[in-house]
Chains A and B, each alone.
Chain A
Amino acid sequence: MDVTKAVSRRSLLAGAAATGAVLAADSLLPGSALAGSVRSAADTVTLEFWTNHDATDVPLFQKVIANFQASHPNIAIKMTNETSANYDTTLIPTRAVSGTLPDVFYNRTFATADRANRGWTVNLNPYIQKERFSLTDFWPAEVAQETWKGQMHSLPYDFSDFGIYYNKTAFDKKGIKYPPANGNWTWDDLFRMAKEFVQMSGGKQTMWGLDASPIAWTWPTIGFILAWGGKWISKDLRTFQVNTPEAAELFQTFQDQTYKTNVILRSASLPAGFDPWQSGKLAMAINGSWATLQQRAYIGNRFAWDVAPLPKGPTGRRPISPAGGAWSIAANSKNPAAAWEWIKFLTNTRSAEILISEPTRSVPGRKSAVPTWVSVARSGKLPPAHVSVFADTMAEAFPVPTVPYYNELATITGNYVGAMLTSRKPVKDTLAKWQADGQAAIKKYQF
């Protein structure tokens, strides 16, 4: 082929012009951003709405959207369920930096402060104050987490806390009384009980008393430290205060129960997919309110189980520091008023019942949706019989505000708690390094 004849300057220019015309025409077709804004000019406002849930939640959201649009015919909701595991770490920050966040998106309470500090989300206070929108039906601890510098930046969706899952069959075999459903017990009581289940065979341990892995997850870590009388962050959020004798006592206790008495499973070293609780190798496990349905599916009839409230720490309080999901309005939204109408509806009692209570997800963000949650969870007589402990203990939660440096502090916390509980590093030295690194991290942030 003679390429000099096949591609002349004239034909190249003609081709480029034709391509450009096609691209320009495509931008005016339905589905393109430009077309969207042209069409939403007058009558209907279209809100882009992102969730980050399982595929099984999609029909529930569609039901809520249908209910909303029946009462708000001038606001259309275009929903996308982003299932990516990198939703929080990559997707949201990338879209935020490029100014293309959806109008309403799923946020997490411990990410609210960071995103608000960067100016990615809308301050909801003007709407709340103008309409005298009541926040009393939301959990106070969750409202605290979604407030940054006195301004609310998201409305609560759900809230998760922890309890003690226990293997009733194992307890029955040993003839040991179950953990008290009224929560009137301490961590010493738990460790005494758990020690009875430690079993060795041929030099290897075959059963443990407790899985305490969530203690290294940062947001639950805070509750444990506070329940032991320790400190976390100063009121002005600028001083990291973890290195206290009380925190040393907490981590020394858990380290001793892991390495000296072999009660606690060194579960941070477990391979993905292997669950000793579901395999019946644990008498008890600290696990969350979101896990009840999952445990029912995985355990089936293999053993009987139930849940009990977390024991009380030396302060007399339980180590409850929940975290949850929330809905925020993007700062780049062109329709914040319509977005406000949508998130109000999304977080009302009936929507919370549809989305959380009836499928028995984690604890609803609205207290008024909890009775439905409890009655559905108890119906069918499936375990856990005492599922209400998650909602009952929510009122005892420490109101820990989140901070813009949460992610960095979480990395540091995970490394040092792991060092103490899985590598058996000396507690005192590790706490000192943890505090120093945490303080150095806080200094990098301007707020």
Chain B
Amino acid sequence: MAVAGTTLATGRPRRRSTLARREAIAGYIFLLPWIIGFLWFTLGPVLGSLGLSLTDYNAGGKAPNFVGLSNYQQMITGDPLFWQSLKVTTIFSFVSVPLGLLLSLVIALTLNQRVRFLPVWRTIYYLPSLVTGAAVALLWQFMLNEQFGLINSVLTAIHLPAIPWLTDEFWIMPSLILASLWGSTSGMLVFLGGLQGIPTELYEAAMIDGANTVRKFWHVTLPMLSPTIFYNLIFGVINSFQVFVLVFLLTGGIGASVGGPNYASYVYAIYIYQTAFQYGRLAYSAGLGWVLFAVVLVVTLALFRSARLWVFYAGER
């Protein structure tokens, strides 16, 4: 039987055998439903939205007209809300992601110790990540309420002034970041897996060399965990740029307008949603979506580039 893909003595590639060809066709047939679904429901609409962003379509009776890059031009030169929403989202991402990583790493390190009832502790710390976005937002609305909230009750009990968490332009961002940390325990699970994958021989070797706990953490744990940190960082950044539910529900009652007060919590995803569904400016909102894609792509590529400096993969030379 001829071996598929081998080259004859003349240098010409052999033809695939009939069996190999049949297997390939069968493979594609089984892939076909997914391929069709991907083309029809994902790639098609994605490319369609790119085309739409180059028109002036406003969800009205008129057909869209090609306007080139004027939507993008308007965003950059004539739309203060575009810059405001991008600024708010970037601040949220750059603060909440590192804090979330730190918190989940600390919890993972704690849960990696040999303590009694360890499965119970792990379950308790993982449970918050199972609570859905709407419930989390409502919960934090209660906790952060200026007059009746739990957090201000604690502050006033220790003679500190109550903070207008959800009604002040400055404090709304810390409130959102605080509420977002609630869901960072899902990253804890990934870190826990990473910690348990670190070979114990490395710790033994470090002990023999006289390393204390801090040095073991710095020279063994962190480098070996760096791929996991990198993974959580990438997904954290991508998700944080798309934050919507938490902000939409947490600020929905402020002046009866989301993203307030005074646009201080007006994240990019809310701007896209309102532009598309509440104002009907579909072409413009499609453009906003593509800009978000470009921003997240640039940030992700930068992180990948930086990974060469601080991410160490076992087995790398």
Contacts and interface: CB of A to CB of B under 8 A. Distances in A.
B166 interface: yes
Nearest to B276: A93
A120 B58 CA distance: 12
A273 B253 CA distance: 11
Interface stretch (A48-56, A76-84, A242-250, A264-272): A264-272
A261 interface: no
A292 to B, nearest CB: 21
A423 B263 CA distance: 12
B146 to A, nearest CB: 5
A271 B255 contact: no
Nearest to B56: A446
A437 B262 CA distance: 11
Nearest to A213: B256
Nearest to A118: B60
Given A268-B255, A269-B167, A408-B278, A418 B260 contact: yes
Interface stretch (B22-30, B181-189, B219-227, B305-313): B22-30
Interface stretch (A162-170, A179-187, A363-371, A409-417): A409-417
A413 B263 CA distance: 11
Contacts of A216: 255-257
Interface string B138-153: 1001100111110000
Interface in A204-256: 204-205, 213, 216-218
Interface string B248-260: 0000011111111
A114 interface: yes
A97 B282 contact: yes
B279 interface: yes
A381 to B, nearest CB: 34
Nearest to B145: A271
B133 interface: no
B169 interface: yes
Contacts of A422: 167, 254-255, 261
Given A269-B167, A418-B261, A204 B147 contact: yes
Contacts of B258: 411
Interface residues of A, number: 53
A4 B23 contact: yes
Contact of B278 (A117, A272, A407): A407
B168 interface: yes
Contacts of B30: 3
A89 B279 CA distance: 9
Contacts of A421: 255
B261 A423 contact: yes
A422 B25 CA distance: 65
Nearest to B32: A12
B277 interface: yes
A272 B262 contact: no
B138 A415 contact: no
Contacts of B278: 89, 407-408, 411
Interface string B146-163: 111100000010000000
A96 interface: yes
Given A7-B29, A118-B280, A119-B60, A269 B253 contact: yes
Interface residues of B, number: 46
B128 interface: no
A143 B23 CA distance: 70
A217 B256 contact: yes
A328 to B, nearest CB: 15
A274 B166 CA distance: 16
B274 interface: yes
The secondary-structure label for the interface of chain B is loop
Contacts of A12: 29
Interface in A159-197: none
B164 interface: yes
A386 to B, nearest CB: 27
Interface string B33-52: 00000000000000000000
B52 to A, nearest CB: 11
A272 B168 contact: no
A97 B257 CA distance: 25
Interface string B186-203: 000000000000000000
Nearest to A423: B261
Contacts of B23: 3-4
A269 B147 CA distance: 8
B59 interface: yes
B257 A410 contact: yes
B164 to A, nearest CB: 7
B281 interface: yes
B210 interface: no
Contact of A204 (B61, B156, B253): B156
B191 to A, nearest CB: 32
Given A7-B26, A266-B167, A423-B167, A114 B261 contact: no
B246 to A, nearest CB: 14
A130 interface: no
Interface of B: 19, 22-23, 25-26, 29-30, 58-62, 80, 138, 141-142, 145-149, 156, 164, 166-169, 253-263, 266, 274, 277-282
Given A93-B59, A274-B148, A422-B167, 16 more contacts: A3-B23, A4-B22, A7-B29, A93-B280, A118-B280, A216-B255, A266-B146, A268-B254, A269-B253, A414-B256, A414-B260, A417-B256, A418-B254, A418-B256, A421-B255, A422-B255
Q: Which 3 A-B pairs have the closest CB atoms?
A: A418-B255, A414-B257, A119-B61
Interface of A: 3-4, 7, 9, 12, 89-90, 93, 96-97, 114, 117-120, 203-205, 213, 216-218, 266, 268-274, 331, 405, 407-408, 410-419, 421-423, 425, 430, 437, 440, 444, 446
18 contacts: A3-B26, A7-B29, A89-B277, A266-B146, A268-B167, A268-B256, A269-B253, A270-B147, A331-B61, A407-B278, A414-B257, A415-B255, A415-B259, A418-B260, A421-B255, A422-B261, A425-B169, A430-B262
